[in-house]
């Protein structure tokens, strides 16, 4: 049986917004802009985000740690 791994929320100051731009999310996750953009554009398993306008996406900050762990090389 595989043990269940829990993810602690990433440390964020209280003023951190619920959603941030792709660029800000990439900085928080420690990945490139291109990687975060690709995660948001995935058809099968996109990182949780909302559309803001025609081409802008805002990434849910609380979803970043768990999503990054799922994307780790297996």
In contact, 57 and 19? CB cutoff 8 Å: no
Tokens at residue 60, please? 């849910």
Q: For 13-60, write each residue's pLDDT tens digit.
A: 677 799 999 999 999 999 999 999 999 999 999 999 999 999 899 999
In contact, 25 and 59? CB cutoff 8 Å: yes
* The 19-21 sheet, strands edge to edge: 19-21, 56-60, 49-52
How do beta strands 49-52 and 56-60 pair? antiparallel
pTM of the complete model beyond 0.75: yes
Residue for token pair 């941030």: 20
């Amino acid at each position: 049986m595989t043990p269940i791994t829990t993810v602690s929320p990433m440390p964020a100051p209280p003023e951190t917004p619920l959603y941030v731009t792709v660029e800000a999310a990439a900085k928080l996750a420690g990945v490139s802009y291109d990687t975060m953009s690709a995660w948001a554009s995935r058809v099968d398993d996109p990182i949780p985000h909302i559309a803001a306008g025609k081409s802008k996406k805002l990434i849910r900050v609380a979803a970043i740690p768990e999503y990054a762990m799922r994307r780790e090389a297996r």
